[in-house]
Amino acid sequence: MEFGRVRGWPSFARATRRYQSRGMIGLDNPQISRIIQLFDSINRMTDTKQKILDTAERLFGDQGYAATSLRHIIADAGVNLAAIHYHYGSKEELLDELVMRKAGPVNAERLALLDRYEAEAGSGPLAVEKVLEAFLEPTFSVADRSPQFVRLMGRMYGEGLMTGIVERHFQPTVTRFIEAFRRALPDLPNEELLWRIHFMLGTMAHALFGPPNPRPGVESPPLDAQGVVPRLVAFLGAGFRAPAAGSEEK
């Protein structure tokens, strides 16, 4: 069972104690105490789980997955080893939960946008730019809100963990988008299409690290998520539309 923080619980607890002291709630003290203890316990579990996730996201992003142990995480989060094993069991399960709390909503938004663009296209051709927008916009939106998560995903890419992460969490979404790209580019050979999707993912990952820095040694400005997506769509759209490699006349 997934517990969520009980919304408004502090106010509810204060009101319960106040009304009970005035005889306005028909429960005896032991019953009131058990209710309060139950809600306190749920909230403590939720706080602990959130603290573990936030700490793991920061440490995995800063130090890397391989260099960060569960003991590093519990020491930094100020929780005990039993708590992390209770909630996650292993470091791999912790990483999966960490990815899914951001990637789940991103994938849902991607699919919702793709559904909309396909419905708008009807029986006509689907523009490859629309497929790209559906895939990229939610990604850069979360990057704008959660730069630490972008750093984490960059680390996972650099440590060679992305293949497993994609297989566990992104495969249905990837399959759906491959079908959409095939519809948008029906004459492009399948092998060529898969290479271009591969290039798209690498380009997206690189762009997420930030804008180009024309002056070495000077800190780059922050990523402008709203500005980079149109540039990516224009660049990648041209690449997807280009003739297949080796198809030009010699």
Is 75 within a domain?
A: yes
Distance from C-alpha of 157 to C-alpha of 178, rounded to nearest angstrom: 21
Cβ burial, residue 200 (10 Å; 0-12/13-18/19+) = buried
Q: 146 with 53: CB under 8 angstroms?
A: no
Is 116 within a domain?
A: yes
Q: Are residues 55 and 136 in the same domain?
A: no
Q: Are residues 47 and 131 in the same domain?
A: no
Q: Are residues 216 and 134 in the same domain?
A: yes
Q: Are residues 155 and 48 in the same domain?
A: no
pLDDT band of residue 111 (cuts 50, 70, 90) is very high
Q: 107: which 2 tokens?
A: 């994938």
CB under 8 Å, gap of 24 or more: what pairs does 81-84 form? 83/48, 83/52, 84/52
Q: Are residues 67 and 175 in the same domain?
A: no
Phi and psi, residue 161, nearest 5°: -95, -5
Rounded to 10 degrees, the C-alpha dihedral 74/80/82/83 comes to -70
Distance from C-alpha of 85 to C-alpha of 94, rounded to nearest angstrom: 9
Distance from C-alpha of 172 to C-alpha of 250, rounded to nearest angstrom: 40
pLDDT band of residue 43 (cuts 50, 70, 90) is very low
Q: Is residue 37 within a helix (H) or strand (E), and if so which, with residue range?
A: helix 29-63
For residue 70, pLDDT over 70 is answered with yes
- Mean pLDDT for 63-82 is 84
SS3 119: helix
Quote the Cα angle for 214-215-218, to 5°: 125
Cβ neighbour number for residue 126 with a 10 Å cutoff: 20
Which residues lie below 8 Å from residue 121, measured CB to CB, with a gap of 6+?
127, 130
Half-sphere exposure in the Cβ direction for 210 (13 Å, CA): 10
SS3 17: helix
Of 66, 87, 108, the residue that ends a domain is: 87
Among 141, 135, 146, 147, CA closest to 203: 135
For residue 46, pLDDT over 70 is answered with no
Is 2 within a domain?
A: no
For residue 14, pLDDT over 80 is answered with no
Distance from C-alpha of 139 to C-alpha of 147, rounded to nearest angstrom: 11
Q: Are residues 126 and 223 in the same domain?
A: yes
Of 42, 62, 87, the residue that ends a domain is: 87
Q: Does 211 or 176 have the greater pLDDT score?
A: 176
Q: Are residues 107 and 219 in the same domain?
A: yes
Is 250 within a domain?
A: no
Of 87, 106, 126, the residue that ends a domain is: 87
Q: Are residues 75 and 112 in the same domain?
A: no
Is 215 within a domain?
A: yes
Q: What CATH number does the domain containing 237 carry?
A: 1.10.357.10
Q: What CATH number does the domain containing 64 carry?
A: 1.10.10.60
Share of the chain above pLDDT 70, in %: 76
- The domain total for the chain is 2
pLDDT band of residue 18 (cuts 50, 70, 90) is low
Is 4 within a domain?
A: no
Distance from C-alpha of 80 to C-alpha of 48, rounded to nearest angstrom: 10
Quote the domain boundaries for residue 62.
9-19+27-87
Q: Are residues 112 and 210 in the same domain?
A: yes
Cβ burial, residue 244 (10 Å; 0-12/13-18/19+) = middle
Q: Are residues 82 and 117 in the same domain?
A: no
Q: Are residues 78 and 117 in the same domain?
A: no
Q: Are residues 162 and 58 in the same domain?
A: no
Name, of 81-90, 134-143, 189-198, 238-247, the range with top average pLDDT.
Answer: 189-198
